Structures are given as structure tokens and as C-alpha cells.
Amino acid sequence: MLLGRTANGLYWMNRYIERAENMARLVDAGLRMALTRTQSASEEWNSVLLSAGSDVTFSQKYSDYTAANVADFLLRDTSNPSSTMASIETARNNARMVRTALTRETWESINEAWMSLKRMLAKPIDERDLPSVLDAIKRETALIRGSFYGTMLRNEIFDFSQLGTYVERADNTARILDVKYYVLLPSISWVGSTLDNYQWESILRSVSAHRSYRWVYDADYK
């Protein structure tokens, strides 16, 4: 029987791994949607912070909604408990507490992701390097997922871990849809426009769902 402390550690370990990747995906969505603006993209970056639930804490540290500031806050800033770096560190701490419940491969992939991201995010990110940094973050979390799915026994340990992942994913998806529906589009008259379709496409790409969507719905974004 799984102890409550172990179940709690597994649940939060996986929530924070998912959150670390989600922050990178939100920044990726912001980058893509900023391309729809010919002038300031501050509204798009503000929407990213709203999706992350970090707009208030961000405004206490920064005055401008720029790619550099938002990326720094959501990816590097360990004073932001939801940042990628803070999340992967918290996930690692939880993994260390439940290490006996994990396979060697799963623990090592989490530890290596933490070391890799710590090196990569040690300095502010040049905006030109941001796409490659985001890809690297998603690659590290994919390696964790691969080792987990490939080596963990399908039992209650696996189930509690999955619960954490899917709760976090559901929360993040709901936030993204809420911001897209209520914040990004200038007015309801823009529904179905090129801008509306591009924003939906950007969101689908940011969550790696664009191709799957087109396989199921061979039509416009509705």
C-alpha cells in the first residue's frame, strides 16, 4: 500500500515537471502570437502572464511587457515559484524524497534535466536564442516522460504520478483557452478572421497539438 507522503511526493513531482514545460510552452505561444502585431506586442505578453497566473507578481518587478522580461520571469526567475527553473528544482526535490519509488532511469533523467537547465538558464536569455532554449526545455521534459513511461511499473505509483501530470495539464489548458477567448481578440467581430485563426494555430502549435488537430478536423479553426 502506498504511503500518503510518497503519494503526495509523486503527485507534486509530476505537477511541477508538467509546469516547467508549460511555462516554456506559454512563452512559445507568446512569441508566435507576437508576430501578429506590427507594433507593440505587450498585449500578447500580458496574456501569457495572465495564462500563467503571474501577472500581478510580474508587475511588481517589471514595468514593460517585453519578450526578454517575460521570458526571464517565467523561465529563469527562481523567486517566481512557477518559473521553469523553480518548477524543475521543486520537482527534483520531490523526486529525491520518493527516490525509492522511482526507477534509476526516471531519477537520473530528472536530475540531469535539473543540471542542464541550471546551466542553460544561469544567464539572461538573448531574444535570438529564445526559440532554441524553449526547444531544449521541452526536450528535457520529454526525456523525463520517456524514461518514466518506458521503465515504471503500471501500479499505484504510476497512477498517482499520472494524476499530478493531468491535473496540471488540465489547469494550464483551461487558462490558455480562457485568455484566448476573453483577452486576445480585439472584439467579437474578429471571430473567424485571419488574426483569430492565426492565434488558434499558434496556441495549438505551442501545446504540440497542431498536427493532431488537423488530422481530426481537416478544416479551419473553429
The three-class DSSP label of residue 103 is coil
* Higher pLDDT among residues 46 and 111, named by residue: 111
**42-90 pLDDT, tens digit each:** 877 888 898 888 989 999 999 888 889 999 999 999 999 999 999 999 9
**142-168 pLDDT, tens digit each:** 999 999 999 999 999 999 999 999 999
**What is the pLDDT, as a whole number, of residue 210?**
83
**What is the pLDDT, as a whole number, of residue 72?**
96
Where do the domains of the chain lie? 4-186
- pLDDT beyond 70 at 1: no
Tell me how far apart the alpha carbons of residues 22 and 17 are, in angstroms, rounded to a whole number: 9
Which pTM does this prediction carry? 0.89
* Higher pLDDT among residues 222 and 75, named by residue: 75
Q: Which of 203, 202, 204, 197 is nearest to 220 (CA)?
A: 197
* Ordered DSSP codes for 170-183: HHHHHHHHHHIIII
* Higher pLDDT among residues 220 and 52, named by residue: 52
**122-133 pLDDT, tens digit each:** 999 998 899 999
The three-class DSSP label of residue 197 is helix
Task: Determine contact, residues 165/14, Cβ cutoff 8 Å.
Answer: yes
